A = this chain, B = another copy of it.
Amino acid sequence: MVTSVCWFLLREIENRIEADHPVPAPASTGEESEEDQQFLSIFQQIAGDQMEISANELKDVLNKVVSTYKDIHIEGFSRESCRSMIALMDMDGTGRLNLQEFRHLWNKIKQWQGIFKRYDFDYIGTISSYEMRNAINDAGFRLNNQLYDIVIIRYANENMNVDFDSFVSCLVRLEGMFRAFHAFDQCGDGTIRLNVLEWLQLTMYA
């Protein structure tokens, strides 16, 4: 559970564009649910002695866990969304997740899953583009209309619906991009200046 929240507000012209940016979840308190134990066990089996997992292994572990869910219809995660998740959470630049990074990611996915479920009224595994706006909002991101439209064009299917894999991919990218902007906006004037190396570093590992 996220116990504290640091806020950074990013304003733009007429609209308010911002992210409620949760700090990393604390390490386990020792009181673990059955799901947590199941998750740890699967992680250990897949990660082996290295105790780190690659994108493909992340895909396997996540899909194993969500396949057991009875109350939400999730088709499964794609390799690409798992790669994006690793890029977001990989703090030591190994391209793999250790247990702590994975646990942090897992907490996020559970939170996002709760939001998605709230809008997937009819249990078909997708939410509409209108619901997507509310879901993004619930996840802590305030965008303007232009950005909501961009997100829908990028992540919805041809029927303007968004599945859970795309929803997670979208939130992962939003969180990564808000975080990067915040890190570079050190004087807090709402703009960042980047050279090409910085630009490519930020955008190629995302």
A residues within 8 Å of B by Cβ? 10-13, 17, 54-57, 78-81, 83, 87, 93-95, 143-144, 146-147, 150-151, 153-155, 157-158, 169, 173-174, 177-178, 181, 190-197, 199-206
Report the bound CA distance from A196 to B157 in whole Å. Answer: 26
Further pairs besides A80-B80, A83-B155, A174-B204: 12, Cβ < 8 Å: A12-B197, A13-B197, A17-B196, A56-B157, A95-B153, A95-B154, A147-B201, A154-B204, A154-B205, A192-B194, A192-B199, A194-B194
Report chain B residues within 8 Å CB of A197: 12-13, 17, 144, 146-147
Report the bound CA distance from A155 to B87 in whole Å. Answer: 11
Of chain B, the residue at the smallest CB distance from A153 is B95
Contact A173 B95 (CB under 8 A): no
Of chain B, the residue at the smallest CB distance from A156 is B95
Report chain B residues within 8 Å CB of A17: 196-197, 200
Offer 20 A-B interface pairs, CB within 8 angstroms, sorted by A.
A12-B195, A54-B157, A54-B158, A55-B157, A80-B80, A80-B169, A83-B154, A83-B155, A150-B205, A151-B204, A153-B205, A154-B205, A177-B200, A177-B203, A177-B204, A191-B195, A192-B199, A194-B194, A202-B203, A203-B203
Copies of this chain per assembly: 2
| Interface hub of A11, A83, A190 (most chain B Cβ within 10 A) | A83
Report chain B residues within 8 Å CB of A191: 193-195
CB distance from A3 to the nearest CB of B (A): 27
Contact B57 A158 (CB under 8 A): yes
Contact B146 A201 (CB under 8 A): yes
Contact A81 B83 (CB under 8 A): no
Report the bound CA distance from A153 to B84 in whole Å. Answer: 11
CB contact between A12 and one of B143, B173, B190, B196 (< 8 Å): that residue: B196
Contact A150 B201 (CB under 8 A): yes
